[in-house]
Amino acid sequence: MRRGDLGETTRLASPRSRRVVVTGMGMLSPLGADVARSFEAAVAGRSAVRATAPDRFAGLSGMLLAPAAADPATMLDSADAGLDRATQFALVAATQALAEAGIAPHPDDADRLGVFAGIGFGGAFTLDAMFTRYFHLLLGDESGRRRATVVHPLTVPRLMANASQGLVSMRYGLRGMGNTYSVACSSSAIAAGEALRAIRHGYLDAAVVLGTEAMLTPGSMVAWNALRVLARPDADDPAASCRPFDRRRNGFVLGEGAGALVLEAEERARARGARALAELAGYGATSDAHHLTAPSVDGQTAAMRQALEQAQLAPGDVGYINAHGTATEVGDAVEAQSILQVFGPASQGPAVSSTKAVHGHLIGAGGAVELILAIQAMRSGTLPFTANLQDPDPRCAIDLIAQRSRSGCRIDAVMSNSFAFGGSNACLIARRVPPADLAEPAAR
């Protein structure tokens, strides 16, 4: 039997007693072209934030970006060159995660494997290119008009939000249920939570979770700039412009990239000799029903408490939180207050940091990327710090990791928070899997 396949006689546990484990992770982020390099950069506080020239975005000055560490097209076959950039990111991350999990294309139980994706602005690059051609048609000369009419026949499926989910499903022959969630900044955290539920409740035995985003286009940036939530460049060092929880914070920096995780029922992973990197144990999801852009303490605390209840953990069991931490004036203060309400004062609460300071806000990809970084923190015992945090806001009186990462920490459970415009909150909890719980990986 190939590793990654299950024989017909394999019996899985009752859905009510199922544990769900992470057996593979992949990433292409502003910090690195894989999980290891991305986590190393986060721990070192190496910022991927860069200043851009005014002519790149319709003459807007002072624009900052956190571009991906590598062009995804260079990591794929030439046949994938025409895909939307967000789909390319997703395919790179999924390929890495499935390789680590040891799952080959078209597994024998493909009907029981699904794909769940999260994305904010689906197909932004394709859409931007299409409208560029459209305006050439309106304003260009005759040659411009002729060029404008040459639009690829697959433009519509390339820009659809579910393009990444569909492509990964087709590329690996995964025929189980799958969905795409577009819930702004909570998109891929919700994708992970719903995949967890699908496996735990017996609808699937495994799933690939994707979080991807590529919206660093002129149209997107002009819109985000109008919202007045983007950070202004630091006069001395643009790379230090995003400072979550700092008294001088003034907004976030948009980034791009993808993260992917393979989730499996513990029994399936055990049957094929897979290694469990962590258990995905808790998921909380709530709606603020409060305001389109302003967060709510009540909604966030409810989501965190739900995740703890599902994981059957007490607040004191969580040792680290990768906070949503967008470096906005209101957002950081509300999240800090929510953490205090759930976990108590800093002296007894978990360590907290926001890695957005160095990789930017990845919107739809943020939940997956930040969950992976939190899992890596738990596995390594090294907790990334919040870069550029020099003058903590007294309203954020939680145990913030500042100045340098903390090493040598024994962490048994971590939380990742994702709080979106529209008031959609998602919290995920991963916990350590004892070495004896699952076998070491089978020989490749």
For the annotated catalytic residues, the residue numbers are: 185, 324, 361
- Residues 351 and 55: their CA atoms lie apart, in Å, by 41
Contact (Cβ atoms closer than 8 angstroms) between residue 253 and residue 241 = yes
Would you give the DSSP letter of residue 41? H
Query: Is the Cα dihedral 97, 99, 105, 109 positive or negative?
Result: negative
Would you give the DSSP letter of residue 21? E
Contact (Cβ atoms closer than 8 angstroms) between residue 69 and residue 37 = yes
Contacts of 231 (CB under 8 A, 6+ apart): 64, 241, 242, 249, 250, 251, 252, 253, 327
Question: In 201-281, which residue ranges form alpha helices assigned H by DSSP?
Answer: 218-227, 266-271
What are the E-state strand segments in 204-269? 206-213, 254-255, 257-265
- Nearest CA-CA partner of 165 in 180, 185, 181, 155: 180
- Residues 58 and 53: their CA atoms lie apart, in Å, by 10
